[in-house]
């Protein structure tokens, strides 16, 4: 079971990781984008942190929806609507819950991924967040199907996410700003894929601790 | 960082405050969410035109708010699309009952945020549509990319549609006009230096003393190709010919279907320039290039157009859609018809574009 | 050299050609000697106003030619005063029989060349006077220097005197007005980067990443003091207070005595700003600083003026008197009276300043 | 006797020296001015060279006046009117002459100096051309008075000129653009003083050869 406190801790851990990786993410975005991804995500999650206490007594679904609204109205760019939609759908998938079963976790992740894909229209291989989220979700499902628990499943998901992140390096971008670079987008790791990996990594770390 | 700023995170806000105190006769500024709007808004019965995008492109869009152009502009963080709440509040503030057109530059962030705003505005009963500007011929195909970026044609579309709305065109007419302007405008730009995003504090890319980036956008992102810096005439020729010789371009865009109440895919095709076309030639500074150099470019552009049988009947030369302090320029050619010429010439009174009044 | 130019020696000429093809409705360009003049010149019975100076300060002066402002402008080489033959030919071309005022910035080169031109014009029977602009408070005394440099007030004087001439003021009235504008205007500027003179090809000076030059002129020359770069608010305060707290300044200038037919020394004294003065606040980019940063400066300037009891009733924000692509800004405050306000508001139609028409 | 040919050769030698020292003079002018003195002088004397053949059969006074007119309408800045006036007055002082006596040379130099002082209002010690021209002219007169010939007198004048040029280094500028720098003008050699030294040096070299 994942508790509400753990969800809150996860958000805090992700926020901390974003702060630590702000320059790194921005640096990645200057190679094939416009040098703001770390700044955007850090701004958004700083705002999330400032709102968190006011909703900490609500259910998990409401908390995630508040995260969504905060991101949507504070991040902007591509990552604002994408992460905003991810958390909105995730929240909707686990509406009203105070704690989450392994199945709930699977639904949450799947819904988040679906939201990103619907909003951004990116496919696997387009060099975006999807290249991290999609293999992660697939591996999570598979591990659960194989009878593993959520933590083990998440470990496998994060391993797949890290691989997915690295796999974006040789890819030619087909979505987002990097796609304008054509061939020149090859050889660089996608910033959004990297922040998505950090999101999953911080989730795992929270559940493990 | 060679900038006249205080804290980087206050850049956008403080700049807006400055605009508000400098131009109270023309505009007002709303904070949290941020948007600039006409001081006489809402104009009853007039279609309202709203644009927006990341900051750092000034004077676009905030300084184009005023009579004969935009009713409101939503500035995001530097090079970051604004958020749906800004766009929604702006729509609520300036809607005069005749509906609202969002003019949106084709970047994934802008498109997604404006689409969310459109959905939100529809739920509160405001008739909103959005039209995309995607005119950057440096982006070659639309199948394997986000599609062409919206660049210089945006400024021209805002002026022309603003004049149309001022003259009483209804929402459908303004939308059709905006689409027509977009399908007739093409642009391309180059950078001689990078710019520095204030929050990052260091240049987005570094160019050698004799290098340039060809085919850049307006967000300090690298272009299609890095190459040796050339003479002004050669650079102008590269931009101008890429624009003039660009062939038919087609793309699928999402537009709001009012009857169905949902997004539908629309295929749009623009046609190449032809001999004897009449055009507006727009030579734009990326911010750090002074106007003296723009005239050198304009001189060569006029020569090229003449050779190609293209007739420049209007022009705009100056820094209008910029990337902070980047050095470089862009060229936009917009094929004009009589109606567009009349609307271009119509009076405009904004902080940065003004004539006829 | 990060410039859109061809051969450095063609910079001025090609830029003028570009202006000529871009604005045939407003201006004409004469080559060898070079000057830009109103396309409807000479205006019979109207006092003609001519300015000029080195190139590299665009839009000043060439883009200020047109209805309600200059009748002609004489561009020199980059940062080099134009020559007397340019000024003489310009005077012959635009004199409409009511005489000519040369507005001259106080640099030894400009002063000497315009004085020679005045002498030459007088010999061919044109009634010419020249009035100096010397408003840069960074230059402390007039006894041990060339006197204060002419900077931002020049733009304002050209607009105000241009409007007066358009309204039918006679030569004596325009001269008196020009002197009054100069005595009521004060400026100061700073640089964050150097600029590069095309013919030289390398920056005139080099500044460290965190350095700035305080109290610069407009020719890429070093300023009064090099110091650590500060926040926009601190920089604005340094400029604004230097201007506002500047005390009485007196100097001796040479003016042409028509009766005696010779130059005479005239002593001029301007008075410090006072509480409740109404001013025009002009925040200017040195060329490479974008307008977004100027608004941050304007915001702080407005705050300071308010604290000092000085009332900003008009403003101008943008790149109007530049040093090529230099980053930095200058502030000018001009004390206004009712007449000056009316003339400032009067219609103007030039390539770079336009309103009311 | 200084012949007309020698005058023409002098102008050519000065033009050559200016071309060679264009960057040096401009560099000096970037320290305390606006980085154009070498460019200005080179532009002016290139134009003089292109006009010289058309007046080479005229008298010395006319040649010098042509130089003056060419400089006045092609140099601009401070140096245009100053050197323009120098050559105008010099030409007037030796009007109609086909060759120059030692006395004529003295008059020519004196008239040129007077012209510069009148046009620019600079005094000795103001850190300008005058700091080179003035001691040079004084020494030329003095040497002639001591019975020396023009070449010897000019040697002494050039020595004084060189000293005068170096003496501008510690000076605080009081005229021209450098005066705006106040104390910061100290420690730099004046560009105009340097070009004036080159002018005299090339005159000496021509007469000696
Ligand atoms: N259409 C899309 N679908 C999925 N992810 C996208 C899409 N467009 C962009 N992204 C992701 O967004 C990231 C960039 O985010 P960010 O830099 O914050 O926004 P912007 O590109 O507007 O500056 C990219 O690295 C990519 O992973
Ligand atoms: N009033 C003056 N009297 C004498 N010489 C002067 C005066 N003003 C300037 N100069 C000389 O002119 C030189 C600068 O010439 P130049 O750089 O060509 O012109 P500008 O200063 O207009 O750029 C100075 O080094 C100085 O020797
Ligand atoms: Mg980005
Ligand atoms: Mg961005
Ligand atoms: Mg000069
Ligand atoms: Mg100089």
pLDDT value at residue A182? 84
Give the SS3 label for residue C91: helix
What separation in angstroms does the CA of A171 have from each of A3, A28, A32, A125, A176? 38, 14, 12, 7, 13
We report the CATH number of the domain holding residue B233 as: 3.30.1180.20
Q: Inter-chain contact C324–B290, Cβ cutoff 8 Å?
A: yes
Q: Would you say residue C163 lies in a domain?
A: yes
Q: How far apart are CA C126 and CA C89, in angstroms?
A: 11
CA atoms within 13 A on the CB side of B154: 35
The answer, for B199 touching chain A at a CB cutoff of 8 Å, is yes
Q: A112 CB under 6 A from ligand 1?
A: no
Instruction: Identify whether C250 is part of a domain.
Output: no
Which of C59, C232, C290 is the closest to B287 by Cβ?
Answer: C290
**Is 70 exceeded by the pLDDT of residue A162?**
yes
pLDDT (tens digit per residue) in C72-102: 999 999 999 999 999 999 999 999 999 999 9
Domain presence at residue B353: no
A189 in helix, strand or coil?
A: coil
Asked whether A120 lines ligand 1 (CB < 6 A), one says: yes
Q: Is C200 within 8 Å of D180 when comparing Cβ atoms? A: no
Q: How far apart are CA B80 and CA B58, in angstroms?
A: 14
C142, pLDDT greater than 70: no
Is the pLDDT reported for residue B143 higher than 70?
no
Q: Which of A162, D39, A66 is nearest to C11 (CA)?
A: D39
Radius of gyration of chain C (CA): 19
Q: Is B5 on the interface with C (CB under 8 A)?
A: yes
Do B152 and B214 lie in a common domain? no
| CATH assignment, D2-208 | 1.25.40.340
Q: How confident is the model at residue B326 (pLDDT cuts 50, 70, 90)?
A: very high
Distance set, CA B131 to CA A79, A203, C125, C143, C283 (Å): 22, 39, 62, 64, 36
Mark out the alpha helices in C23-152 (DSSP H runs).
Answer: 84-94, 108-123
> Does ligand 2 come within 6 angstroms of the Cβ of D191?
yes
Binned at pLDDT 50, 70 and 90, residue A196 comes out as: very high
Given the DSSP bridges, would you call strands B225-228 and B211-214 parallel, antiparallel or unpaired? Answer: antiparallel
Is the per-residue pLDDT at B142 higher than 70? no
* Same domain, yes or no: C115 and C132: yes
- Closest CA to ligand 2's atom 22: D77
In this prediction, residue B221 carries a pLDDT of: 82
User: What is the model's pLDDT at position B224?
Assistant: 85
- CA–CA gap between residue B126 and residue B95 (Å, rounded): 8
Do residues B279 and B326 both lie within one domain? yes
B57 given a catalytic annotation: yes
Domain match, B161 and B207 both = no
Instruction: Find the radius of gyration of the CA atoms of chain D.
Output: 16
**Is some CB atom of chain C closer than 8 A to the CB atom of B356?**
yes
Selected catalytic residue, list C23, C30, C57, C61: C57
**Which secondary-structure segment (H or E) carries A89?**
helix A79-93
* Mean predicted lDDT score pLDDT of chain C: 96
Residue with tokens 């040497």: D143
pLDDT in tens, C92-140: 999 999 999 999 999 999 999 999 999 999 999 999 999 999 999 998 7
Asked if residue B95 and residue B156 are part of one domain, the reply reads yes
Give the residues across from B53 on adjacent strands. Answer: B75
Give the residue, C222 or C94, on which the prediction is more confident.
C94
C139, C284: one domain = no
Ligand 2: nearest atom to the Cα of D192: 27
Whether residue C144 has pLDDT greater than 90? no
Confidence of residue A181 (pLDDT cuts 50, 70, 90): confident
Span D101-131, pLDDT tens digits:
999 999 999 999 999 999 999 999 999 999 9
Find the closest chain C residue to D182 by CA distance.
C224
Q: What is the pLDDT of residues C160-186, one digit of tens each?
A: 999 999 999 999 999 999 999 999 999
For residue C327, the SS3 value is coil
Domain with B127 in it: what CATH number? 3.40.50.10440
- Phi then psi dihedrals of residue B353, to 5 deg: -120, 125
DSSP B326: B
pLDDT above 90 (res B144): no
In chain C, the number of structural domains is: 2
Q: Is C100 helix (H, G, I), strand (E, B) or coil?
A: strand
Instruction: Tell me the mean pLDDT in the region C240-253.
Output: 95
By C-alpha distance, which of A138, A60, A149 is closest to A99?
A60
Ligand in closest contact with the CA of C109? 2
8 Å CB contact of B6 and C232: yes
Residue C219: name the closest of D33, B189, D161, A39 by CA. Answer: D33
Angle separating helix axes B338-345 and B153-166, nearest 10 degrees: 80
Q: Please indicate if any CB of chain C lies within 8 Å of the CB of B18.
A: yes
Average pLDDT over residues A52-68: 94
pLDDT at B140: 79
Which residues 65-104 of chain C have a CB within 8 Å of chain B?
none
DSSP string, A94-138: TTT-SEE-HHHHHHHHHHHHHHHHHHH-PPTTSSSTHHHHHHHHH
- Are the CB atoms for B31 and C258 separated by under 8 Å? no
Q: What is the mean pLDDT of chain D?
A: 96
Residue B110 tokens read as 């802008």
Cβ(B118)–Cβ(B66) under 8 Å? no
Is residue D130 lining ligand 2, measured as CB closer than 6 Å? yes
Exposed e or buried b for every residue in D57-66, given b needs 16+ CB within 10 A?
eebbbebbbb
CA distance C327 to chain B (A): 7
Segment B153-199, tens digit of pLDDT:
999 999 999 999 999 999 999 999 999 999 999 999 999 999 999 99
- In the residue annotation, B219 being an active-site residue is answered as yes
- Mutate which of A37, A124, A188 for ligand 1 pocket (most atoms within 8 A of beta carbon): A37
The pLDDT confidence band at residue C143, using thresholds 50, 70 and 90, is low
ipTM computed for the complex: 0.93
Q: Is residue C292 part of a domain?
A: yes
Q: Give the per-residue pLDDT at C221.
A: 81
Question: Are both B297 and B324 inside the same structural domain?
Answer: yes
Neighbours of A183 (CB within 10 A): 10
Pairwise CA distance, residues A62 & A88, whole Å: 9
Chain C contact for D89 (CB, 8 A cutoff): no
Q: How far apart are CA B252 and CA C247, in angstroms?
A: 66
In this model, does residue B141 exceed pLDDT 80? Answer: no
Pairing of strands B100-105, B128-133: parallel
Residue nearest to atom 14 of ligand 2 (CA): D192
The model's pLDDT over C265-293, given as tens digits with 9 standing for 90+, comes to 999 999 899 999 999 999 999 999 999 99
At A56, is the pLDDT very low, low, confident or very high (cuts 50, 70, 90)? confident
Is the CB of residue A78 below 6 angstroms from any atom belonging to ligand 1?
yes
pLDDT in tens, B22-33: 999 999 999 999
> Cα of A29 to ligand 3 centre, how many Å?
6
Residue nearest to atom 9 of ligand 2 (CA): D176
For residues B75 and A209, give the distance between their C-alpha atoms in angstroms, rounded to a whole number.
42
Q: Rounded to the nearest whole angstrom, what is the distance from the C-alpha of residue B81 to the centroid of ligand 4?
A: 6
Going from the Cα of B149 to the center of ligand 3, the distance in angstroms, rounded, reads 14
d(CA D73, CA C5): 25
Residue B222 banded pLDDT, cuts 50, 70, 90: confident
Considering the domain architecture, whether residues B180 and B309 belong to the same structural domain is answered as no
**Ligand 2: does its nearest atom lie under 6 Å from the Cβ of D44?**
no
Distance CA B55, CA B322 (A): 10
Same domain for B118 and B61: yes
Percentage of residues of chain B with pLDDT beyond 90? 94
Using alpha carbons, select from C235, C269, C231 the residue that is nearest to residue C249.
C269
- Spatial contact of B290 and B326, defined as CB atoms under 8 Å apart: no
Instruction: Give residues 317 to 346 of C whose Cβ lies within 8 Å of D.
Output: none
* A106-137 residue pLDDT tens: 999 999 999 999 999 999 999 999 999 999 99
Q: What is the pLDDT of residue C148?
A: 93
pLDDT given for residue C222 in this prediction: 80
Residue B4 located in a structural domain: no
Task: Give me the pLDDT at residue A165, please.
Answer: 98
Q: Are residues C159 and C59 in the same domain?
A: yes
Catalytic annotation, pick one of B23, B30, B61, B219: B219
From the CA of C219, give the closest atom in ligand 2: 23
Domain check: are C174 and C238 in the same one?
no
Sort A152 into a burial class: Cβ within 10 Å, 0-12 / 13-18 / 19+. middle
User: What percent of chain D lies above the pLDDT cut of 70?
Assistant: 100
**B145 has pLDDT over 80:** no
State the average pLDDT over residues C49-58. Answer: 98
**Measured from the CA of D116, which atom of ligand 2 is nearest?**
4
Nearest neighbour of A120 by CB, restricted to B82, B112, B200: B112
Which range of residues forms the domain containing residue B64?
11-184+260-271
Q: What is the pLDDT of residue D145?
A: 96
Q: Does one domain contain both B112 and B218?
A: no
* Residue B2 within a domain: no
pLDDT at D18 (0 to 100): 98
Residue B223: what pLDDT?
A: 86
- Answer whether residue C2 is part of any domain: no
Both structure tokens of C134? 């010397």
The answer to whether C58 contacts B291, with C-beta atoms less than 8 Å apart, is yes
Q: Is residue B160 part of a domain?
A: yes
């Amino acid at each position: 079971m994942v508790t509400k406190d753990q969800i809150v801790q996860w958000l805090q851990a992700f926020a901390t990781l974003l702060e630590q990786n702000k320059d790194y993410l921005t640096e990645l975005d200057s190679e094939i984008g416009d040098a703001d991804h770390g700044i955007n995500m850090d701004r958004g999650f700083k705002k999330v942190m400032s709102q968190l206490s006011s909703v900490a007594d609500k259910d998990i679904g409401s908390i995630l929806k508040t995260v969504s609204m905060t991101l949507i109205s504070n991040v902007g760019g591509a990552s604002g609507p994408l992460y905003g939609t991810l958390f909105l759908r995730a929240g909707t998938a686990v509406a009203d819950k105070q704690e989450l079963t392994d199945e709930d976790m699977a639904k949450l992740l799947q819904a988040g991924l679906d939201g990103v894909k619907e909003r951004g229209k990116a496919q696997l291989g387009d060099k975006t967040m999807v290249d991290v989220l999609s293999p992660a979700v697939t591996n999570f499902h598979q591990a659960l199907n194989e009878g593993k628990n959520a933590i083990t499943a998440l470990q496998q998901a994060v391993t797949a996410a890290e691989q997915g992140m690295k796999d974006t390096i040789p890819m030619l971008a087909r979505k987002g700003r990097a796609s304008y670079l054509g061939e020149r987008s090859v050889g660089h790791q996608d910033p959004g894929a990297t922040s998505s990996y950090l999101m999953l990594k911080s989730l795992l770390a929270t559940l493990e601790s | 960082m060679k900038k006249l700023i205080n804290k980087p995170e206050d850049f956008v806000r403080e700049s807006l405050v400055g605009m508000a105190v400098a131009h109270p006769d023309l505009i007002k500024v709303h904070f949290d969410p941020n948007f600039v709007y006409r001081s006489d808004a809402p104009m009853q019965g007039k279609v309202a035109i709203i644009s927006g995008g990341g900051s750092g492109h000034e004077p676009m869009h905030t300084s184009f708010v005023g009579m004969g152009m935009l009713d409101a502009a939503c500035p995001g963080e530097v090079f970051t699309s604004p958020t749906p709440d800004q766009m929604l509040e702006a729509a609520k503030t300036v809607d005069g009952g005749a509906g609202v057109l969002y003019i949106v530059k084709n970047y994934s962030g802008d498109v997604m945020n404006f689409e969310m705003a459109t959905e939100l505005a529809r739920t509160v009963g405001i008739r909103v549509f959005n039209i995309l500007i995607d005119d950057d011929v440096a982006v070659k195909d639309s199948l394997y990319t986000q599609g062409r970026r919206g660049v210089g044609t945006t400024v021209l579309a805002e002026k022309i549609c603003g004049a149309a709305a001022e003259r009483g065109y209804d929402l459908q007419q303004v939308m059709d006009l905006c689409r027509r302007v977009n399908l007739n405008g093409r642009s391309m730009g180059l950078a001689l230096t990078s710019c520095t995003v204030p929050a990052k504090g260091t240049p987005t890319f570094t160019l050698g003393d004799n290098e340039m980036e060809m085919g850049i956008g307006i967000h300090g992102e690298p272009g299609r190709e890095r190459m040796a810096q050339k003479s002004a005439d050669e650079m102008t020729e590269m931009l101008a010919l890429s624009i003039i010789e660009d062939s038919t371009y087609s793309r699928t865009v999402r537009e709001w279907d009012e009857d169905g109440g949902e997004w539908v895919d629309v295929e749009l095709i623009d046609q190449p320039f032809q001999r004897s076309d009449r055009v507006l030639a727009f030579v734009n500074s990326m911010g750090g290039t002074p106007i003296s150099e723009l005239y050198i470019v304009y001189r060569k552009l006029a020569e090229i157009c003449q050779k190609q049988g293209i007739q420049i009947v209007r022009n705009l030369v100056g820094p209008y859609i910029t990337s902070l302090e980047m050095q470089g320029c862009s060229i936009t050619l917009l094929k004009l018809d009589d109606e567009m010429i009349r609307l271009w010439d119509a009076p405009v009174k904004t902080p940065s574009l003004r004539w006829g009044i």
